[in-house]
Copies of this chain bind each other. A is one copy, B any other.
């Protein structure tokens, strides 16, 4: 079973002053505004996502099913003065969904209150315990995986943008989330990096199950095959996803693995080659279908030429999902797999 979050949502923002610390809520508001009935802010909050301000009881009356913990909190801790809101949410009949480092179940009395109210405390860092070992068996449906040169290079954003573009064109598709923010946005998924290594590829298989032949699962990637800490996660996800296609995600100008001094990023051609070599084990015809670059560090005037140069060199569409959109990648997918 994947994690499932019941919509619609009340987004909890606390009194967080900084929008950059409310990434999860901002992401949900951007990608899934239709899932949100309101926001819950405390005095001093500096974040406004444009939804009606609501107390838990009002949100429940408006149909909300879940309070989403949308802010980071200092060091992942749950501030003392935010806790009353959590009890109010439970009393109003809302599930609480969070991925903070300190567990909801450690707040004295909250688990009991949730039991009594018949609601769930959903910790999206905890994968289910009934995961299978990957079988590698072929399954119907198409799958597209984001593959990064590093962490934090736009894999989630690229996957969401591609899934949205496919949906707009009437294609049959789902975004499949493998990390915390993605799971909040998708309303479900699996925190793949928290899965025991023996079951990573099995978890990835479960996340993108067999489907209609023309259906696309657009799968959020994790880590990098070239990351000294996280490559195991990346390979298990690659094998279990059995992708028909993959998109290379990269930040223009980055040359070293972030926070791991001395580790060089692969070049894009190297990463394509290595992804095919490794991915072939479960997906014999795996191919790269595009490059998605974060070019925000480049002068805007140089962007078009930069993208065109890479596209020409590789014979693949090359986009910045924010600046140019991902249309050319979806064009390429449609042309290749029809």
Q: Which residues of A contact B (CB under 8 A)?
A: 133-136, 192-198, 200-202, 225-233, 235-236, 239, 260, 262-263, 274, 277-278, 281-282
Residues in B whose Cβ lies below 8 Å from that of A229: 133-136, 198, 201-202
CB distance from A99 to the nearest CB of B (A): 14
Q: A227–B135 Cα gap in the complex (Å)? A: 9
Given contacts A197-B197, A263-B281, contact A135 B228 (CB under 8 A): yes
Decide if B225 touches A278 in the complex (CB within 8 Å): yes
Bound-state CA distance A281–B226 (Å) is: 6
- The interface residues of chain B lying within 8 Å CB-to-CB of A134 are 228-230
Closest 4 pairs (CB-CB, A-B): A136-B228, A232-B236, A134-B229, A193-B198
Query: In the complex, what residues of B have CB within 8 A of residue A230's CB?
Result: 133-134, 198, 201
- Distance in angstroms between the alpha carbons of A113 and B228 in the assembled complex: 43
Given A225-B278, A226-B281, A263-B281, residue A200 in contact with residue B232 (CB < 8 A): yes
CB distance from A231 to the nearest CB of B (A): 5
Q: How many copies of this chain does the complex contain?
A: 2
A185–B168 Cα distance when bound, in Å, is: 59
Residue of A194, A227, A274, A281 ringed by the most chain B CB atoms within 10 A: A281
The interface residues of chain B lying within 8 Å CB-to-CB of A193 are: 196-198
Contact B226 A231 (CB under 8 A): no
Among A133, A197, A202, max chain B CB count under 10 A is at: A197
Query: Cβ of A239: which chain B residues have Cβ within 8 Å of it?
Result: 228, 231-232
Q: Given the complex of chains A and B, what is the CA–CA distance between A277 and B236 in angstroms?
A: 17
Residues of B within 8 A of A202 (CB): 229
Q: 13 A–B contact pairs at CB < 8 A?
A: A133-B230, A134-B229, A134-B230, A136-B229, A192-B197, A195-B196, A197-B197, A198-B230, A202-B229, A225-B278, A231-B278, A231-B281, A278-B278
What distance in Å separates the Cβ of A193 from its nearest Cβ neighbour in chain B?
A: 4
Whether the pair A197, B232 counts as a contact (CB closer than 8 A) is yes
Q: Within 8 Å CB of A260, what residues of B?
A: 135-136
CB neighbours of A198 from chain B (8 A): 193-194, 229-230, 233
With CB as the reference atom, state the residue of chain B lying closest to A228. Answer: B136
A186 CB → nearest B CB, Å? 20
Bound state CA distance, A134 and B195, in angstroms? 16
CB distance from A256 to the nearest CB of B (A): 12
- In the complex, which residue of chain B has the Cβ closest to the Cβ of A261? B137
* Residue of A195, A228, A282 with highest tally of chain B CB at under 10 A: A228
